[in-house]
Amino acid sequence: MTQVQESTIHVTSADHTRAIGKALASTLRAGDVIMLNGPLGAGKTTLTQGIGQGLNVRGHVTSPTFTVSRIHPPLDEGGLALVHADAYRITDLDDLETVDLDSTTQDTVTVIEWGEGKTEQLSDDRLEIVIERAEGTAAGGDDEGTDAHLGRHTDAHAGGQAGEADIHADAQTHHDVINLEDIDSGERTLTFILHGTRWAGVLDDLDEKARALAGLDAPTTDLHDEVGSHRD
């Protein structure tokens, strides 16, 4: 059975989220698979931008919705390439095989947005990160800020999956990454779910390193909490 551990880090801004990604990148190696989950506008691509900066890859990291996956080669000799995938429109194993992530996983760092329930088979030793808005931080108190940023009314996606897909597509049509500062304060809770032994020690001092990179003050309270561990 695979050992699973969970831990949370609270971030205070989009820059802090990027810095977490950059600090995390310093611990990554070929074959690592990271799955990012969270609602539209949570900061999945923002976190991936930080990982890309930390790996020093070529090209601006944007959400790869219509290409499904995008490869960012390393700028440094001997560096790691970043494969950035969006599994939102993947519905079954045939779709996943078409994307052919298996062929690149072993030699790259693979970051997958919207992969929950779809891409776990890529690696038993994977890192899942769930990004949630801190309570009371969203403009208007809920996701309305996201919809307003996209020029949509909340009722436009009241129908569920189909409407959410429209908004997801609209976000990409009007460009890559939703600017979190336009939505809310950027405060988020990041829950790290560590599958397997590969990730032991990876989170040690991660927030402290990220704060140093972002030029942020140390927290007045402990913002890094161990949630616990179990086996699946």
pLDDT at 156: 31
* Overall average pLDDT of the 21-50 stretch: 95
Backbone angles phi, psi at 28, to 5 degrees: -85, 155
pLDDT single digits (tens) 146-166: 333 333 333 333 334 444 444
* Overall average pLDDT of the 209-218 stretch: 91
- Helix (H) / strand (E) containing 231: strand 224-231
Q: Would the CA dihedral through 135, 126, 30, 109 be positive or negative?
A: negative
pLDDT single digits (tens) 44-96: 999 999 999 999 999 999 987 666 789 999 999 999 999 998 888 776 656 55
CATH class of the domain defined by 3-231: alpha beta
Q: Give the whole-angstrom CA distance, residue 159 versus residue 56.
A: 41
Q: To the nearest whole number, what is the mean pLDDT of the chain?
A: 78
Q: Which residue has the higher pLDDT, 125 or 173?
A: 125
**Which conformational region is residue 65 in: left (phi greater than 0), alpha (psi within -120 to 50 degrees), or beta?**
alpha
CA atoms within 13 A on the CB side of 107: 7
Longest dimension (CA), the chain: 50
Q: What Rg, from alpha-carbon coordinates, does the chain have? A: 17
Yes or no: say if 199 and 85 are a contact pair by the CB < 8 Å rule: no
Place of tokens 């995938």: 85
CA atoms within 13 A on the CB side of 27: 18
Yes or no: say if 101 and 83 are a contact pair by the CB < 8 Å rule: yes
